[in-house]
């Protein structure tokens, strides 16, 4: 069985119930700034980096603003909502602390840097992670492996010695493309498809099942 030397968490949908927060913020932003929401836009943007989804909002949804401004303004709205109430998933804090007692932890997220830092501060989890990476800091968002590869690089652990914790279709495929063992905790609102579920090494029903034993068992031979 392959040895695991580090665990890399996704953020949205794994630690915070936030996909719907981002979705609502983008929908409202598009409507308020002259764009038009289209069917399939939500799923299309799942896993995209901030540069990718803000360009999508401009090019596909018709908001006539620079992508950098779109990204900053939407992320600012999400951050304001988090300061009012952080939608930390039940059991998430305990799961992170549990695994941090055994492995080095990193985080690989599609969220903007300011949002990642805010969430970990509000959840009192900053000290548990040795590195955090936003997909805006790499070339491509999920399902490309870039954000996971960079997270592994920053903690100096080979990708094949890492386990990734994911909830979304593109996130699972991203971690798999990086060569990591993949533990899926499927998102209830935006469920991953069959292709992604087949790519996971282990599927859990909730983060409460994310134990040291579950991570060890997920490592393929």
CATH code of residue 55: 1.10.150
Give me the number of domains the chain comprises.
2
Distance between first and last Cα of the chain: 4
The CA distance from 63 to 213, in Å, is 47
The pLDDT assigned to 97 comes to 98
Question: Does any domain span residue 40?
Answer: yes
Domain boundary, last residue among 84, 119, 135: 84
Of the residues 5, 12, 124, 221, only one is catalytic, namely 12
Q: Please, which pLDDT band fits residue 219 given cuts at 50, 70 and 90?
A: confident
CATH code of residue 100: 3.40.50.1000
| pLDDT tens string 94-122 | 999 999 999 999 999 999 999 999 999 99
Of the residues 5, 10, 64, 117, only one is catalytic, namely 10
| pLDDT tens string 163-185 | 999 999 999 999 999 999 999 99
CA angle, 97 then 205 then 182, to 5°:
70
Domain boundary, last residue among 84, 100, 127: 84
Question: Sign of the CA dihedral 107, 111, 117, 118?
Answer: negative
Q: Examine the residue annotation and report whether 10 is marked as an active-site residue of this protein.
A: yes
Q: What percentage of residues in the chain have a pLDDT greater than 90?
A: 87
pTM reported for the whole predicted model: 0.92
Q: Please, which pLDDT band fits residue 65 given cuts at 50, 70 and 90?
A: very high
Shared-domain flag, residues 97 and 186: yes
Q: Please, which pLDDT band fits residue 26 given cuts at 50, 70 and 90?
A: very high
Among 179, 193, 176, 183, CA closest to 218: 183
Shared-domain flag, residues 80 and 128: no
Domain boundary, last residue among 84, 115, 136: 84
The domain in which residue 36 lies consists of 19-84
Q: Examine the residue annotation and report whether 146 is marked as an active-site residue of this protein.
A: no
Shared-domain flag, residues 118 and 140: yes
Shared-domain flag, residues 162 and 118: yes
Question: Does any domain span residue 156?
Answer: yes
Question: Does any domain span residue 122?
Answer: yes
């Amino acid at each position: 069985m392959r040895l695991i030397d580090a665990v890399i968490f996704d953020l949205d949908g794994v630690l915070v119930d936030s996909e719907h927060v981002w979705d609502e913020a983008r929908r409202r932003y598009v409507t308020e700034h002259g764009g038009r929401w289209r069917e399939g836009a939500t799923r299309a943007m799942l896993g995209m980096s901030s540069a990718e989804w803000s360009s999508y909002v401009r090019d596909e949804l018709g908001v006539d603003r620079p992508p950098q401004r779109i990204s900053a303004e939407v992320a600012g709205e999400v951050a304001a909502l988090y300061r009012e109430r952080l939608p930390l998933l039940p059991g998430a804090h305990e799961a992170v602390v549990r695994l941090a007692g055994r492995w080095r932890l990193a985080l690989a997220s599609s969220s903007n840097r300011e949002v990642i830092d805010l969430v970990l501060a509000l959840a009192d989890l900053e000290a548990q992670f040795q590195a955090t990476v936003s997909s805006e800091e790499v070339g491509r968002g999920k399902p490309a492996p870039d954000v996971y590869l960079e997270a592994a690089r920053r903690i100096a652990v080979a990708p094949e010695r890492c386990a990734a914790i994911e909830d979304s279709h593109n996130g699972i495929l991203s971690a798999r493309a990086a060569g990591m063992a993949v533990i899926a905790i499927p998102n209830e609102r935006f469920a991953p498809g069959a292709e992604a579920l087949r790519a996971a090494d282990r599927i859990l029903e909730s983060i409460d099942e994310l134990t040291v034993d579950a991570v060890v068992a997920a490592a393929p031979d």
